[in-house]
């Protein structure tokens, strides 16, 4: 009988070592190596034969190198999920044979989103593997989702529920059921007997994900894995899990807010800049088709420290409310805090405001908040952040009907931003009368198309002079 081997794997990047190392030589993290036991028969017993899931084993053995020009090109057929937001984030729909990882905080709505989506796909046979909830709990959740319209009337007989955590038994059921879509909730609860460790460990997550990947690629069945996140906000388990899957989707949002953000972190079949917005209700998640109205739902007239920016995330423009609060430092050390905005970029913008414009904020606390609980990465937010900070500092409100878009450089210049026409159309649609834009963008804009007043600026001083007089 062969003796089991002991190996050490980095839980952050998946680097393997024969002995324990304090610092990972690959990613540089400390104390991330975990001990795993590798059975002698693991390699042979964990191989899933392609013949079990519709593949051809003889063809797999006869794989030979092929020239790039000889590979036939065909676009991936997409499965329409009947969800515009989810389709947009995935790049147009679900690709057959793809492995998708959906992560998020506990209670954010991962299971609700997946169950709500599959209940709206009556034309597909779907296998829902639950390792955390019982079948009765899933039935109660399905009845609560009023948007499905089923209520136990027999229309949802295409969804098959399997409450199992053993990977070997799950593969047997997949072979018997032959589903068209598979949901695994969650990957941290699935375990295999070929690995001598508990569920959720580095070796278990890696082996189970690799096995599900082989099933997905050999049978052409898309598999959605639901994963948890740790206290740092990253997906739990080894970093190699994100490398194995084709698409990584993060479900973000604060539980105190009613809105949820679906963001693509990795996507082999589409863009990673798209995001979807949902509204959490008692009867499930509602798609938000117009995020600008969601973020600008309040009357902001007469309030200082508030600036409206025309931002673009993915393919959609929307107007974002930027809030700022500037106050005297209470304990001598000024605080810098940003919610939904990069704090390092905030420090850079404050340095530009002090050096190039002349406003002394060295001994003052500065707080920035992006309303709605969303996180924006568009550089066009720079101008609105500076305007909101100055508005709060002098306690003067920006006139109602004004918005802005522009990147700020280190020399105090307002740099051009992309897709200015879409930003102008969105601002005009929502009733804004004036917008501050970079002067360079005026060269490519036809003024006759828009009924909004354009104010081109070259420096930050010009923008502040226009806004505050």
Q: Are 171 and 190 in contact (CB under 8 A)?
A: no
Q: Are 101 and 227 in contact (CB under 8 A)?
A: yes
Give yes or no: residues 231 and 335 share one domain: no
**51 confidence band (pLDDT: 50, 70, 90):** very low
455 pLDDT higher than 90: yes
Within a domain: 48 = no
Give yes or no: residues 375 and 440 share one domain: yes
pLDDT of residue 375: 82
pLDDT of residue 238: 65
pLDDT of residue 216: 93
pLDDT of residue 300: 67
DSSP classification of residue 8: E
pLDDT of residue 151: 43
Give yes or no: residues 18 and 112 share one domain: no
pTM of the model: 0.74
**41 confidence band (pLDDT: 50, 70, 90):** very low
- Edge-first strand listing for the sheet containing 16-17: 16-17, 5-10, 33-38
Give yes or no: residues 24 and 108 share one domain: no
Task: Answer with the residue of higher pLDDT: 451 or 283.
Answer: 451
Within a domain: 415 = yes
Q: Which of 27-31, 39-43, 423-427 has the lowest mean pLDDT?
A: 39-43
Give yes or no: residues 300 and 319 share one domain: yes
Nearest alpha carbon to residue 180 among 204, 195, 159: 159
pLDDT of residue 332: 75
Give yes or no: residues 216 and 91 share one domain: yes
Question: How far is Cα 104 from Cα 42, in angstroms, rounded to an integer?
Answer: 31
The string of pLDDT tens digits covering residues 228-274 is 876 565 665 667 788 889 999 988 876 666 778 888 889 998 888 78
Task: Tell me which of 263, 289, 315 is where a domain ends.
Answer: 289
pLDDT of residue 186: 84
Task: Answer with the residue of higher pLDDT: 154 or 298.
Answer: 298
Q: What is the DSSP string of 421-459?
A: HHHHHHHHHTT--EEEEEGGGGGG--GGG--SEEEEESB
Q: Which CATH number fits the domain that encloses residue 234? A: 3.40.50.300
Cβ neighbours of 420 (radius 10 Å): 24
Task: Answer with the residue of higher pLDDT: 294 or 225.
Answer: 225
pLDDT of residue 231: 58
Count of the separate structural domains present in the chain: 3
Give yes or no: residues 414 and 271 share one domain: no
Domain with 23 in it: 5-40
Give the 3-state DSSP-derived string for 349-364, with helices as H, strands as E and coil as C.
Answer: HHHHHHHHHCCCCCCE
Give yes or no: residues 301 and 276 share one domain: no
Give yes or no: residues 390 and 423 share one domain: yes
Give yes or no: residues 265 and 313 share one domain: no
The string of pLDDT tens digits covering residues 147-161 is 444 444 445 678 999
Q: In 83-219, which ranges are continuous DSSP H helix?
A: 84-90, 110-119, 135-144, 167-177, 202-219
Give yes or no: residues 31 and 102 share one domain: no
Q: Which of 171-175, 341-345, 356-360 has the lowest mean pLDDT?
A: 356-360
Q: What is the DSSP string of 362-431?
A: TTEEEEEEETTS-----GGGHHHHHHHHHHHHHT-BPPTTEEE--EE-TTSBEE--S-HHHHHHHHHHTT
Within a domain: 237 = yes
Within a domain: 70 = no
The string of pLDDT tens digits covering residues 179-216 is 999 999 888 889 998 877 778 778 888 889 999 999 99
The stretch 319-329 carries a mean pLDDT of 90
309: which strand partners? 320, 404
Q: What is the DSSP string of 74-106?
A: -PPP-B--S-HHHHHHHTSSBPTT-EEEEEE-T
Residue % of the chain over a pLDDT of 90? 38
pLDDT of residue 213: 93
7 pLDDT higher than 90: no
pLDDT of residue 295: 67
Q: In 185-275, which ranges are continuous DSSP H helix?
A: 202-219, 240-244
pLDDT of residue 337: 92
Q: Which CATH number fits the domain that encloses residue 415? A: 3.30.230.10
Within a domain: 56 = no
60 pLDDT higher than 70: no
The string of pLDDT tens digits covering residues 376-387 is 889 999 999 999
Q: Count Cα neighbours of 261 within 13 Å in the Cβ-side half-sphere.
A: 21
Question: How far is Cα 435 from Cα 428, in angstroms, rounded to an integer?
Answer: 9
Give yes or no: residues 387 and 264 share one domain: no
Question: How far is Cα 238 from Cα 157, in angstroms, rounded to an integer?
Answer: 36
Q: Which residues of 350-373 are buried (b: 16+ CB within 10 A; e: fewer)?
A: bebbeebeebebeebbbbbbbbbb
Q: Are 406 and 460 in contact (CB under 8 A)?
A: no
The string of pLDDT tens digits covering residues 272-297 is 878 888 888 888 888 887 777 666 75
pLDDT of residue 150: 43
Within a domain: 454 = yes
The string of pLDDT tens digits covering residues 119-145 is 989 899 999 999 888 899 988 888 888
Within a domain: 55 = no
406: which strand partners? none
Task: Tell me which of 240, 256, 289 is where a domain ends.
Answer: 289
76 pLDDT higher than 50: yes
Task: Tell me which of 247, 266, 289 is where a domain ends.
Answer: 289
Question: How far is Cα 198 from Cα 262, in angstroms, rounded to an integer?
Answer: 31
Task: Answer with the residue of higher pLDDT: 61 or 264.
Answer: 264
Within a domain: 317 = yes
Cβ neighbours of 250 (radius 10 Å): 23
């Amino acid at each position: 009988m062969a003796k089991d081997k002991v190996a050490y794997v980095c839980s952050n990047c998946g680097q393997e070592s024969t002995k324990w190392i304090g610092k990972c030589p690959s990613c540089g993290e400390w104390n991330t190596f975990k001990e795993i036991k590798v059975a002698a028969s693991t390699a042979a017993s964990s191989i899933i034969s392609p013949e079990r899931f519709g593949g051809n084993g003889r063809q797999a053995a006869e794989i030979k190198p092929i020239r790039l020009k000889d590979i036939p090109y065909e676009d991936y057929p997409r499965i329409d999920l009947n969800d515009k937001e989810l389709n947009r984030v995935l790049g147009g729909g679900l690709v057959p044979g793809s492995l998708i990882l959906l992560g998020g905080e506990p209670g954010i709505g991962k299971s609700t989103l997946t169950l709500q989506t599959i209940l709206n796909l009556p034309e597909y046979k779907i296998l829902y593997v639950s390792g955390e909830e019982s079948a009765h709990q899933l039935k109660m959740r399905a009845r609560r989702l009023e948007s499905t319209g089923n209520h136990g009337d027999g229309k949802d007989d295409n969804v098959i529920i399997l409450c199992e955590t053993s990977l070997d038994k799950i593969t047997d059921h997949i072979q018997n059921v032959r589903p068209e879509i598979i949901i695994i909730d969650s990957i941290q609860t699935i375990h295999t007997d070929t690995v001598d460790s508990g569920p959720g460990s580095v070796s278990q997550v890696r082996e189970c994900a690799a096995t599900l990947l082989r099933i997905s690629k050999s049978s052409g069945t898309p598999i959605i894995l639901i994963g948890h996140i740790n206290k740092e906000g990253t997906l739990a388990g080894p970093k190699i899990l994100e490398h194995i899957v084709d698409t990584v989707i993060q479900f973000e949002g604060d539980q105190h807010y009613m809105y949820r953000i679906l963001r693509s972190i990795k996507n082999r079949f589409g863009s990673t800049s798209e995001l979807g917005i949902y509204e959490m209700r008692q009867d499930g998640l509602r798609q938000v088709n117009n995020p600008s109205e969601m973020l600008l739902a309040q009357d902001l007239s007469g309030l200082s420290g508030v600036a409206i920016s025309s931002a673009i995330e993915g393919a959609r423009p929307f107007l974002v409310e930027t809030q700022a609060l500037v106050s005297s430092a209470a304990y001598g050390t000024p605080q810098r805090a940003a919610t939904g905005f990069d704090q390092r970029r905030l420090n850079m913008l404050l340095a530009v405001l002090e050096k190039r414009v002349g406003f002394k904020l060295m001994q003052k606390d500065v707080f920035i908040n992006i309303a709605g609980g969303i996180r924006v990465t568009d550089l066009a937010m720079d101008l609105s952040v500076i305007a909101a900070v100055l508005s709060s500092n002098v306690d003067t409100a920006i006139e109602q009907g004004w918005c802005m878009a522009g990147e700020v450089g280190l020399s105090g210049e307002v740099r051009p931003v992309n897709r200015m026409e879409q930003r102008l159309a969105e601002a005009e649609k929502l009733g804004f009368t004036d917008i501050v834009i970079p002067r360079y963008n005026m060269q490519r804009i036809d003024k006759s198309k828009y009924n909004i007043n354009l104010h081109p600026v070259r420096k930050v001083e010009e923008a502040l002079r226009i806004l505050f007089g």
